[in-house]
Chain A
Amino acid sequence: MSHPYTLQEIIMTLHSFWNERGCLLMNPYDVETGAGTMNPMTTLRTIGPEEWNVAYVEPSRRPADGRYGENPNRLYQHHQYQVILKPSPDNVEDLYLDSLRALGIEPRDHDIRFVEDNWEAPTLGAWGLGWEIWLDGMEVTQFTYFQQVGGLECHPVSAELTYGLERLASYLQEKDDVFEIEFAPGISYAAIFRQPEFEHSKYTFEVADTAQLFRWFNEYEAEAQRALEAELVFPAYDYVLKCSHTFNQLDAASAISVSARAATIGRVRNLAQEVARKFLENRRKLGFPLMRDREAAERWVHELEPKA
């Protein structure tokens, strides 16, 4: 079997690898996210007792990392390949290493290390423990066991594998500059992304109306609360994502002071925690339909009943 080379072949290889291992193949979310973790396919589905195995690509916006398309390693928007395995299987590390083999990375011929890296997403009230995975010194994947999401203890625990697609491609294609990566045969990364990188960077650092962004932040927050009052967690979560992205834009524009930063993160976190609680309760009311063990599902429905 020939190994993948272009970025889209890498995506296809991972898709087929995780498809064969029972994952749902999902799509990027249609609201701006900073990482694959923010997609509700991860954030919400890692909460509660239901099994959930999913894989998808997530274009991830990091306004502060925008470099006008001039830096060979930094991007306003990069692409993550996100896998969630819930509960984390006992052989999860081996599964991951097999996925590298599928990409043509034979561990015997490289130096692969699991270097401690504890992950925390303060805006989501989420944290986990795990590693950065180094391939010959380059971090190519984040491997995290979720401990809390939305302030709720995760049980069972999900394993999250987040592959940096540009990193992997630049390694496999031996390119020093991300813009030289071949996305598809004959089409470079630059051909697709140089212009949006430039424009998003210029917008973020020079053009964005920060007063307007502050207003939007407040409005998104209010709308999230309104949706929550109606017990509608998915719409509420969309506005939490809007808040989060707006906050990232403001932060990148250095428009948020040190003290205001912590307070603003706290506002987003409060919303995320409320969404998490309500999501769990709504799933409970539905009887945790994704659990195969129906008896266990009933026990959970009972156990997680809100105390009066």
Chain B
Amino acid sequence: MTHSYLLEIGLEEVPAQLLLPACTQLEAAVKAFCQAHQLPEPGLQVFSTPRRLAVLASGLPERQTDRTLEVKGPPVEHAQDAQGQWTKAAEGFARKNAVTAADLEVREVSGKAYVFAVRQESGRPVPELLTEAVPGWISGLSFPKNMRWGPYRMRFIRPIRWIVSLWDEQVIPVSLEMVQADRKSRGHRFLGDREVSLSQATGYEEVLKEQFVEADAEQRRASIVTQIRGLEQQHGFHVKLEEDLLQEVTNLVEWPTALVGSFEEEFLEVPAPVLVTSMATHQRYFPVFDPSGEKLQPYFVTVRNGDSRSLDTVRLGNEKVLRARLSDARFFYQEDRKRDFAYFGQKAEQVVFFQKRGSQGQRIERLRRLSRKIAAEMALDPSRQEQADRIAELCKFDLFTQMVYEFPELQGVMGEDYARLKAEPELICRGIREHYSPRNAEDSLPGDLETVAVALADRLDQLAVAFSLGMIPTGSADPYALRRAAQGVVQVILGWPLNLNFSWLVQQALQELDAQQKLELDVNGLQGELLKFLDQRVRWYFQERGIRHDVAESVLGGAQSPLGQLQLAQALEPHLDRSSFKKAVEAVVRCINISAKTPLPESASLVPEALEHAAEQMLWSTVQALQEGTDPEVFLGDLFRMAPPITEFFEAVLVMDPDPVKQQNRLFLCSQVARWSTAQLDLRALVLSGS
């Protein structure tokens, strides 16, 4: 006969997004427990609501099976002395394994005699094991930020208020600092009983359902979806169920009841992103659209934690809150629209960007100049440079609007909307929004090259300002999100892709800042630090693209532009496992090593008359035919062509010939090969397994 075990951890409201990860951990803890104690894998059901985490394990045996433990000890010659008496070592070994020395046995293992401790271990009752293990399951759950409460020392995500621990019908003692396990659960906070006595482990879900608690998160989610689909039918509208919001709402309630609220139609004049942010982000409402899913409707759907009693009170309350938020938003929208660009420009002059680095207005001046330069460097024609300039001029004005002050997440989005109302060209409007892209590793890139110039200028200026103030991120601390800024530069350049030189870009940004603020910065020093910082981001980008670590190291060790490095890394990819590639690399690395060991002076040259061997002449002509440039395929072709003459060269001659002219000639040949390859990449960093 098998048994069921129920553990319910009763909590104060756990943050919604942490429930699922906690369930996964709890499930893993039970599985690990069964494995560690040689129990068969149980059937597992995991439950979670804001106020409880629970797991129901079924198919558990009464006790562990008995087993014979055989532990190998020291060789006999160490375990017995000349008289055949057990030594101290043998006695110690016996003690450690809970047997007496008399119980030690001698057995042969691969022809050698060892001492063995043999012991019958009777399986322990599983409830006993649970009593010992369960506190560890609970304290082992890890959360991003734990707390203490009351007089207790334990840390957990939120206060633990009760524990149910049932082995079939019987309570298994589990003791925490603040609570002892019992069979008493609790119902829904407002609809259920304060105390619910569970008679047995199984049937947990059903008992809680009678208490207005849907313990299964999937069921709760399904119930919300069904209810919302019903409301759609009934009202003839469409509700967009964003997965993140649906998950969050599912984990904010124990007994969901969806209801529809409305707001005054006049609020629809406020741009949709503002309405959606107000509803979804701030209030956790689902926005409502017309059946085509395009046009916002003056309704919302919210999910109440409770039943349908007094639903109108709940509706009216929620409508009142939303009305307050939306009338604020509409007020901001109307006020902002009364102002012209000059007004916001004035505001920008009054706001300090960074102390000692000028106002936001001055920053915009820098962005304009820098954007133009970058656009020119990208070979955009003068009219497109003008457009980049205009985007830069307008890309930050919305920071000084009331709407963005209240809804910072809408920066760029509001700028686009307001600029369109002022009849700016579409490219400019789009650019105001898109210059913030990419906002993270997955985000899309700006779609127009004019905007790309501004996106780069914006981030480079931010980096230049921060670095000029010595604010260089260390460890995980990065309060000004400089890593993300640097990442953005890398993503835009490599993602588009663009052949822009980092060194030049960084220098321009630093010089603009230096000249405008008359700082007399150490531009070269800062440039070096910034380039190092960008290099780390390039490394990150390569990693994101699945480029092997050694390949990344190798191309980053060359003198190519980041785009060239990326293309080279991608071109190497299909060759990495080929033995011909490995041979070629080894041949070149041999040259690199020799010329590193015995460097020649810069002025060294070759004496062609002294090339006596055919192999030397062959290598010389191959070296002369090497092509400079950035095309990775050309480089790879050369690399493969190099291998045979180098191999023959090393077979035919001794580089360190006693004759200084011959020696210098041979070293010169090696150094030419080394110089050619290191300009592209550092071949020594490659780890090749091909035979």
Using a CB–CB distance below 8 Å, which chain A residues touch chain B? 71-73, 87-90, 93, 97, 107-116, 118, 128-129, 131, 135-138, 145, 147, 154-157, 159, 171, 174, 176, 254, 256-260, 262
Contacts and interface: CB of A to CB of B under 8 A. Distances in A.
Given A147-B148, A156-B150, A254-B350, A72 B324 contact: yes
A69 B351 CA distance: 25
Contacts of B302: 111, 137
B108 interface: no
Contacts of B159: 88, 90, 145
B150 A90 contact: yes
B352 A257 contact: yes
Contacts of A257: 352-355
Interface string B1-43: 0000000000011011000000000000000000000000000
A147 B327 contact: no
Contact of A129 (B145, B161, B354, B355): B145
A112 B190 contact: yes
B149 A115 contact: no
Contact of A155 (B50, B148, B191, B253): B148
A89 B320 CA distance: 34
A179 B471 CA distance: 46
Contacts of B331: 71
A108 B192 CA distance: 11
29 contacts: A87-B151, A88-B150, A88-B159, A89-B150, A107-B189, A108-B191, A108-B309, A109-B310, A109-B313, A111-B304, A111-B318, A113-B305, A114-B12, A129-B147, A129-B158, A131-B13, A137-B285, A137-B302, A137-B317, A137-B322, A138-B320, A147-B148, A157-B149, A157-B150, A159-B149, A171-B320, A257-B352, A259-B355, A259-B469
B321 A138 contact: yes
B151 A111 contact: no
B645 to A, nearest CB: 60
Contacts of A73: 324, 328
Contacts of A145: 147-149, 159
Interface residues of B, number: 53
Contacts of B310: 108-110
A180 to B, nearest CB: 13
Interface string B137-168: 00000000101111101000011010000000
B306 interface: yes
Contacts of B16: 116
A118 B457 CA distance: 36
B265 to A, nearest CB: 17
A176 B161 contact: no
B280 interface: no
A181 B317 CA distance: 16
A278 to B, nearest CB: 24
B323 interface: yes
Closest 6 CB pairs of A and B: A136-B317, A257-B352, A114-B13, A116-B15, A137-B318, A109-B310
B283 A114 contact: no
B328 A71 contact: yes
A111 B147 contact: no
Contacts of B15: 116
Contact of B354 (A72, A128, A258): A258
B479 interface: yes
Interface of B: 12-13, 15-16, 50, 145, 147-151, 153, 158-159, 161, 178, 189-191, 252-253, 283-285, 302, 304-306, 309-310, 313-314, 316-318, 320-324, 327-328, 331, 350-355, 469, 471, 479-480
Given A111-B318, A155-B151, 12 more contacts: A107-B190, A108-B310, A111-B304, A111-B314, A129-B147, A136-B314, A171-B320, A176-B320, A257-B354, A258-B354, A259-B471, A260-B352
A157 B149 CA distance: 5
A87 B76 CA distance: 63
A156 B151 contact: yes
Contacts of A115: 252, 284
Contacts of A254: 350-351
Contacts of A116: 13, 15-16
B384 to A, nearest CB: 32
A262 B469 CA distance: 14
Contacts of B145: 118, 129
A129 B351 CA distance: 34
A156 B153 CA distance: 9
Contacts of A176: 320, 323-324
Given A118-B145, A145-B147, A111 B479 contact: no
Contact of A258 (B189, B314, B353): B353
B50 A114 contact: yes
B355 A138 contact: no
A157 B148 contact: yes
Contacts of B350: 254
A88 B151 CA distance: 8
A259 B354 contact: yes
Contacts of B321: 136-138
A156 B50 CA distance: 25
Contacts of B469: 259
- A88, A97, A262: residue with the most chain B Cβ atoms closer than 10 Å: A88
Nearest to B311: A111
A262 B354 CA distance: 11
A111 B317 contact: yes
Contacts of B12: 93, 114
A2 B239 CA distance: 42
A113 B296 CA distance: 27
Contacts of B306: 108, 111
A260 B149 contact: no
Contacts of B13: 113-114, 116, 131
A93 B189 CA distance: 10
B50 A135 contact: no
Contacts of B309: 108-109
Contacts of B148: 145, 147, 154-155, 157
Nearest to B310: A109
B388 to A, nearest CB: 26
Contacts of B50: 114
A282 to B, nearest CB: 23
Given A136-B313, A137-B317, A137-B318, A108 B190 contact: yes
B337 to A, nearest CB: 18
- A97, A131, A137, A156: residue with the most chain B Cβ atoms closer than 10 Å: A137
A97 B314 CA distance: 17
A147 B150 contact: no
Nearest to A93: B12
- B153, B283, B317: residue with the most chain A Cβ atoms closer than 10 Å: B317
A113 B283 CA distance: 12
A110 B313 contact: yes
A261 to B, nearest CB: 9
A258 B318 contact: no
Nearest to A178: B324
Contacts of A88: 149-150, 159
A71 B328 CA distance: 8
A135 B317 contact: yes
A80 B416 CA distance: 39
Given A254-B351, A260-B355, A110 B324 contact: no
A90 B160 CA distance: 9
A131 B13 CA distance: 8
Nearest to A108: B190
Nearest to A85: B150
